[in-house]
Amino acid sequence: MNYILQPNSKSASLPLATELLTSAAFSGYESPAHSDKNFKGTTTVGITFKDGVVLAADKRATMGSFIAAKDVDKIHVVGDRMGITMAGGVGDAQVLVRLLRAEIELYKYAKGKPMSVQAASTLLSNVLQGSKYYPFLVQLIVAGYDETGPALFDLDPFGGLIPEKYVSTGSGSVTAYGLLDENYRDNLNREETVQLAVRAVNSAMRRDSATGEGVDCVVITADGIKRLTRDEVNGIIKPMQKAK
């Protein structure tokens, strides 16, 4: 598959190194089986706590009422301590993931330090705003840990950028917000935040047909990024199921 930006594409004017975007280092950020199809449907969640940020998402992609894929990666690592979740059109979201990862790498080599979470979010916001007449059909969460501490930003398809303490996106977000609004507090610890994020996505799976196939969860702190194993996630979900 050819990942080179074409001259007439909506991203062609961006100051990116095409060599980086087309290299093997970045090709893993698009699944060839999914990239040419308009897959949608998801629930993603981001929650901050004192020492970091937790991201969670389901694994299902849909085309209308059809379940088109059951193992979609909706949480992507774009920096040493930064991640992004995607909701909306998979193709549009994956282009933006590759773009942001390339820009973060270029910044690190040029400046000798990592890009801040706010700077990365603002960069994406400018890209989305510049494409508002031919928009990327996505809603994104950018989160990470930098010199200012944990940071979490919500981006809409037209470049709206809002810092949040917790946020949910996608078709199941209405259900997830019911749990988040009821249970979030400023003094949550890491374990409590992970449990809340997993519970929020899991609750959406019960009511939203476009959300399903399990929960993926990532924790970002000053020490780096940790993706929970399936057993760790199931260890959070199973007690909830027994309590019904």
Q: What does the pLDDT read at residue 13? A: 38
Establish whether 42 is a catalytic residue.
Answer: yes
Task: List all residues 6 or more positions away from 178 whose beta carbon is below 8 Å from its beta carbon.
Answer: 203
Catalytic residue among 18, 42, 122, 229: 42
Q: Contacts by 3-11 with C-beta closer than 8 Å and gap 24+?
A: 3/27, 3/30, 3/98, 10/131, 10/134, 10/136, 11/95, 11/99, 11/127, 11/131
For the chain, 244 residues long, the average pLDDT of each consecutive 10-residue run is 33 39 36 43 91 92 74 90 92 94 96 96 96 93 96 96 95 90 95 95 79 86 94 83 57
**C-alpha closest to that of 143 among 178, 105, 100:** 100
Q: What does the pLDDT read at residue 21? A: 37
